[in-house]
Amino acid sequence: MAALLDCRVALAMTEFRLLKLFLPAALALAASAAAATPPLMPPTPMAPPRLLIVISVDQFSADLFDEYRPQFTGGLARLASGTVFRNGYQSHAATETCPGHSTILTGRRPSATGIVGNLWIDQSANRSDKTIYCAEDERAPGTSAADYKVSPVHLLVPTLGQLLKQPSPASLNVAVAGKDRSAVMMGGHAPDQRWYWDGKRFATDLSKPAPASVVAINAAAATMLAIPRPPLVPPPVCAAKAQPVRLEGSGRVIGAGALARAAGDAAHFRAGPEADGTVLALSAALIREIGLGQDNAPDVLSIGLSATDYVGHFFGTGGQEMCLQLLALDRELGDFLARLDQWNLDYAVALTADHGGDDAPERLRLRGIASAARVDPALETTMVAKTIGHPGALLGPQSQGNFIGDVYVDAGLASDERARLLAKALDFYRRHPQVAAAYSRAELSGAPAPTTTADKWSLMDMARASFDPRRSGDIFVMLKPHVNPIVDTSIYASTHGSPWPYDRRVPIIFWRPEMDAATREEPVETVDIMPTLAAMLRLPNAASGIDGKCLHGIQGIDCDR
Ligand code: ZN
């Protein structure tokens, strides 16, 4: 009853403060399970933190970070007072959620993590649906890529939280996220806890009883979801962006929305501050209940904040909606960090994104990018197969509307027909005015390793970093800049997934309370995060044989120790 009352009070406000709303009830329920907090000794300066928190803000492009940085006053402002790499790169071409998350705590590119896309095709899979979801185990009977058993089985390399347990078995590895694939790719194999929002509640793939925190937060979230979310009242910085834009196709209007939601609308629950607040509330409650950061064995908590991605997809990145979302995220993160301070935790934070994002082409054109357009429907994979005279012989994942990334040739074809089809398909793609490049499997298999920093990579370099011969297609297709692969705009206005800087460039931030502010301009990669954090945790062996390198010159992190 008290929680419901709190909900109504909060909804009367113009700002959502979910952490403040949910956390007290969760903590009260979890109190009996929580270990007593021992008094902490003040940490030795720059000794490994007792709790390492790694946050991924889904679709938080470096462009958005740069644009809104002056507006942040809460958690994002605090983190930006650490060491900020403005030019981080998810260096691969297929800039989707699953590949992006797979790089952050492994130090490996998708060519090594095996996570080549959110979806891929396995024509030898022992089930009728040959599309494989990155975070599923398709061997589970009765499953499909849409109705799957969550699993880390496709992640081929260990995460930092896993590696930490080798020298430090008492260390805990916990993942909480708004998406299962985020929690799976950052937590890796056999985490101590893994919780992800399944559309209605937090769920897990682990065979463990739910901590009291999860039960309490799920109950509070159900209460929240059942009542409508009124529109947020935009501050002037957001109101200035409230220009209605009509989308091609559906005629839907975006740009001036205020993230309101009808009672019970679970889809729009995800696309707004409620979702991130709920993930942060559960993260905080689990820290308390499980006792993360309470002993000298450092723990890793990875947090996936997904609402920014859904807001970008539903409304694009350039309107009032994204402004409201990012300012709310800043507030929620501020509340979260303030709570950790109250608990006297010794913690460090790293923050990045799984990929960036592009705005809707209709708004980009209004802002002077004349080439921005929606993709030609003739580039849809099955249409291409028909056009070149091989109907049904090309297969492609559906995650970005079946227009970009991996295209597979029917494995049942004879080798000479297969060769003819491949040549015709490559020729078709390469002649199309919206296609930037199309590479064959043979070309990518033989491509040399890049020799430059990620900002100067060729399209071939990027596609090669997304190529795993065990899972990738026979052709890899990339569209020209600002050619948007969303055709049906009735739900999604825009997306990501391209090799262009708006999708590849993300912020990478390291923060500890003792650090001085530093903004670094040199290009780095998200695969550099893991070895840098391994140095922070004094785990040098964890960083051997990986793609990333420890980032030198960050205060308090000694790459050579
Ligand atoms: Zn994503």
pLDDT at 542: 85
pLDDT interval class at 498 (50, 70, 90): very high
- Long-range contacts at 65-72 (CB < 8 A, ≥ 24 apart): 65/506, 65/507, 68/323, 68/326, 68/327, 71/237, 71/326, 71/327, 71/330, 72/327, 72/330
In a 10 Å sphere around its CB, with 0-12 CB exposed, 13-18 middle and 19+ buried, how is residue 32 labelled?
exposed
- Whether 499 and 435 have beta carbons less than 8 Å apart is answered as no
Catalytic one among 83, 95, 97, 526? 97
User: Which phi and psi (to 5°) does residue 131 adopt?
Assistant: -75, 130
Instruction: Give the dihedral of Cα atoms 265, 271, 272, 275; nearest 10 deg.
Output: 80
Instruction: Give the dihedral of Cα atoms 339, 237, 356, 76; nearest 10 deg.
Output: -20
Residue 509 CA from chain centroid, whole number = 15
Supply 315's token pair: 């409304």
> HSE of 389 in the Cβ direction (CA atoms, 13 Å)?
7
Q: Output the CA 74–ligand 1 centroid distance in Å.
A: 23
Domain 376-433+435-479, CATH: 3.30.1360.150
pLDDT one-digit tens code per residue, 382-408: 999 999 999 999 998 776 779 999 999
Q: Output the CA 249–ligand 1 centroid distance in Å.
A: 24
The Cα-based distances of 97 to 167, 201, 330, 448, 477 in angstroms read 30, 20, 21, 26, 18
Cα–Cα distance between 499 and 87 in angstroms, integer? Answer: 15
pLDDT interval class at 19 (50, 70, 90): low
User: Which phi and psi (to 5°) does residue 375 adopt?
Assistant: -65, 150
Cβ neighbours of residue 243 under 8 Å, at least 6 residues apart?
Answer: 255, 256, 319, 363, 366
CA angle (220 as vertex; 7, 238 as ends), nearest 5: 55
In 304-409, which residue ranges form alpha helices assigned H by DSSP?
Answer: 307-315, 320-342, 361-366, 381-387
pLDDT one-digit tens code per residue, 435-458: 999 999 999 999 999 999 999 999
Q: Give the start-to-end residue ranges of the domains of the chain.
A: 2-37+51-114+158-364+500-543, 116-154, 376-433+435-479
pLDDT at 29: 60
- Whether 530 and 510 have beta carbons less than 8 Å apart is answered as no
Q: Output the CA 391–ligand 1 centroid distance in Å.
A: 32
pLDDT for residue 287 is more than 80: yes
* SS3 of residue 556 by DSSP: coil
CB atoms within 10 A of CB 364: 24
Q: Output the CA 400–ligand 1 centroid distance in Å.
A: 12
The Cα-based distances of 336 to 269, 291, 332, 482 in angstroms read 20, 16, 6, 36
pLDDT for residue 205 is more than 90: yes
Which option is the CATH number for 2-37+51-114+158-364+500-543: 2.60.40.10, 3.40.720.10, 3.40.50.2300, 3.30.413.10?
Answer: 3.40.720.10
pLDDT interval class at 17 (50, 70, 90): low
Buried b (16+ CB within 10 A) or exposed e, 486-498: bbebeebbbbbbb
pLDDT one-digit tens code per residue, 25-73: 666 665 544 444 444 444 444 799 999 999 999 999 999 999 999 999 9
In 108-257, which residue ranges form alpha helices assigned H by DSSP?
Answer: 110-113, 160-164, 180-187, 212-226, 236-239
* SS3 of residue 374 by DSSP: strand
The Cα-based distances of 234 to 123, 227, 237, 316, 546 in angstroms read 49, 21, 8, 17, 45
- Which DSSP category does 377 fall into? G
Q: Output the CA 502–ligand 1 centroid distance in Å.
A: 13
Residue entry with tokens 């950052």 = 186
Q: Output the CA 39–ligand 1 centroid distance in Å.
A: 39
Residue 97: active-site member: yes
Q: Output the CA 80–ligand 1 centroid distance in Å.
A: 21
pLDDT at 38: 45
Q: Output the CA 354–ligand 1 centroid distance in Å.
A: 5
For the chain, what is the total number of helices (H) and then of strands (E)? 21, 20
Q: Output the CA 312–ligand 1 centroid distance in Å.
A: 10
Q: Output the CA 552–ligand 1 centroid distance in Å.
A: 28
* SS3 of residue 479 by DSSP: strand
Q: Output the CA 55–ligand 1 centroid distance in Å.
A: 13
